[in-house]
Structure 1
Amino acid sequence: MAPPEREFPSDRHRRAGLSRRSLLAGAAVFGGLAAAGCSRVPAEGKVEGGDLLERLRDKGTVKVGIANEPPFGYINDDGEPTGEAPEIAKVLFKRLGVDNVEPVPVDFSALIPGLKARTFDVVSAGMYINPERCAQVLFSDPDYQMPDSFIVPAGNPNGITKYEDIAEQGLTLATGQAYAEIDYALAAGVPNGKLLILPDQVAGLDAVVQGRADAFAGTNVTVMGVVEGNSRVEATEAFVPIVNGEPAYGAGAFAFRLSEQNLRNAFNEELHKIKESGELLEIVAPFGFTEAEMTELTAEELC
């Protein structure tokens, strides 16, 4: 999951390439005319109330961006969205009067661009809250808090327990596209040249098994899930990274456009109800989340 947004040459939390320039050029003409009769698009970076919740209630469907990353959000064998975040979305949006949750799978690094481009209405992918992302989107309060862990060869021959171990030994670290772990590693002194950016944790496991990387960094629940049953690798003990002398708490949440503060606030209100009742843990427990991952942190604190 997850996962600050950074762009790397191979650039989780990945990029959807669109090159329909001629179509967009023509659409711009109609878009300019349509803007006069449709809801106004706010200036970039401006926080406004918004009426998306009312429009979603009228349609009965909310489109959620997911990154196909178990256990945070993915499409199951029946073609349905599931995972920690989509299951929360199903419960909360139903209580907000929107019965249907429609998934829009994209690469993790395309989640915020896709949200801003109105490809979907909400990011439902367990996205980490951090100041860089907070400048681009509105976050709900987090629904989980997660330490990090590494995939390492069986026996952990390099004795890796934290990012600083990678830097001090000059080892190669793999992690996912746009993962927050990229910045954790850089802050610990791992040079860009020793970072191997891969699509996801499965590719990371393969890189460790094949010897192309000495470790793969991800959230503890992600790492634990992918190493299960593989005797050639193991997961290190979970830990909270230290960045600039302070603990970097990885806490994931839903993201909304800056223009839709009313929707974010209504969502937050329902989220706090299921936190207080204990229903939140019941929803996410099937995906490996425990009481230890529940959090009272707020988006304001993390932003």
Structure 2
Amino acid sequence: MSFQRLVQAAVAALAIAASWPASAQQVLKVGSTPTGIPFTFLDTKTNSIQGIMVDLITEIGKDAGFAVQIEPMQFSTLIPSLTANKIDIISAAMFVTPARKEVIDFSEPFYTYGEGLLVPKSDTKGYVKLDELKGEVVGAQVGTAFVDALKKTGLFSEVKAYDTIADILRDVNSGRLKAGFGDYPIFAYYLKQGGFAEARIVESYRPTIMGSVGIGVRKSDGELLAKINTSLAKLKANGTVGKILEKYGLKAQGA
């Protein structure tokens, strides 16, 4: 083969190879929820899941070299879906807890916060501690770290488990529930939208169930976890994470 033909063959091979990444890029299924505003929520205009955790995993994917396909599901089904290989990643408002770490692995923490206390507006007491609600019926979202933690205190006559944060807001707003506990940023976002005029967050309350949000993967996916952590560190350093948080009304954190 002549030198010219060798060059032509090499150029053709390079052209074919250059077309591979776009078509062969790995697409990972990401479990997320429609009820975790502002971390995740259903955008009714596009009928798709949007929010902080969607933006974050999308940016991580761009940096790490994979595309994401968001799979909407209830919060309580996220971990079972991951371990059953129905999804590849969890990117939602999920706390990193010892119990969960026994089942799946998490990325480095992304955002840290505690529980918010929600009561009817007619209740004007400036609650500070949990024991001020001793003997009352309270509520929290099923599958969250709050349900078990509240039950273990032994303070309450009942801890009702609700499917969604919106259900808790609705019952507190109507006066059917004495107090609700849930992710403070989610409560704050809902109330900001003006849909629950008869409920309020108790600003004097000091959270006791602090937690950090992380991205979840299967324990067998150590290589993927390493990629996520590398990209997350880079996005924190270059300000991308801060911009995502600010977009949804939250402040960047040092952690």
Counterpart code for 1:277: N
Q: CA deviation at 1:262?
A: 0.7
Match of 1:164 among 131, 136, 142: 131
Q: Deviations over 1:122-163 (max 9, x none)?
A: 001121001000000010011101122111111534543332
Aligned partner of 1:173 in structure 2 is 138
- Unmatched runs of 5 consecutive residues or more in structure 1: 1-56, 243-247, 297-303
Matched, 1:118 2:85: yes
- Describe how 1:139-288 pairs up with structure 2 within 5 A: 139-167=106-134, 170-191=135-156, 193-228=157-192, 229=194, 230-237=196-203, 241-242=207-208, 248-288=209-249
Counterpart code for 1:141: E
Counterpart code for 1:250: G
CA contact (8 A) 1:184 1:241 kept: no
Cα separation, 2, equivalents of 1:189 and 1:158: 22
Cα separation, 1, equivalents of 2:204 and 2:223: 36
Q: CA deviation at 1:176?
A: 0.7
Q: Secondary structure at the match of 1:87?
A: helix
Aligned partner of 1:74 in structure 2 is 41
Q: Secondary structure at the match of 1:185?
A: helix
Match of 2:101 among 131, 134, 142: 134
Summarize the Cα distance change of 1:146–1:264 in structure 2 as closer, same or farther, 3 Å threshold.
Answer: same
Counterpart code for 2:239: G
Matched, 1:84 2:45: no
Q: What CA RMSD, in Å, does the superposition of the two structures yield over aligned residues?
A: 1.9
Cα separation, 1, equivalents of 2:83 and 2:136: 37
Q: Percent of aligned pairs with the same residue?
A: 24
Matched, 1:93 2:61: yes
TM-score, scaled relative to structure 2: 0.83
Cα separation, 1, equivalents of 2:80 and 2:173: 33
- Which ranges of 4 or more aligned residues in structure 1 deviate by more than 4 Å? none
| Structure number, greater radius of gyration | 2
Count of residue pairs the alignment pairs up: 229
Q: Deviations over 1:14-62 (max 9, x none)?
A: xxxxxxxxxxxxxxxxxxxxxxxxxxxxxxxxxxxxxxxxxxx945322
Q: CA deviation at 1:74?
A: 2.7
Q: CA deviation at 1:267?
A: 0.5
Q: CA deviation at 1:240?
A: 5.2
TM-score, scaled relative to structure 1: 0.70
Q: Deviations over 1:260-294 (max 9, x none)?
A: 01100111011011112222010122222213xx2
Counterpart code for 1:289: L
Summarize the Cα distance change of 1:88–1:267 in structure 2 as closer, same or farther, 3 Å threshold.
Answer: same
Summarize the Cα distance change of 1:157–1:239 in structure 2 as closer, same or farther, 3 Å threshold.
Answer: closer
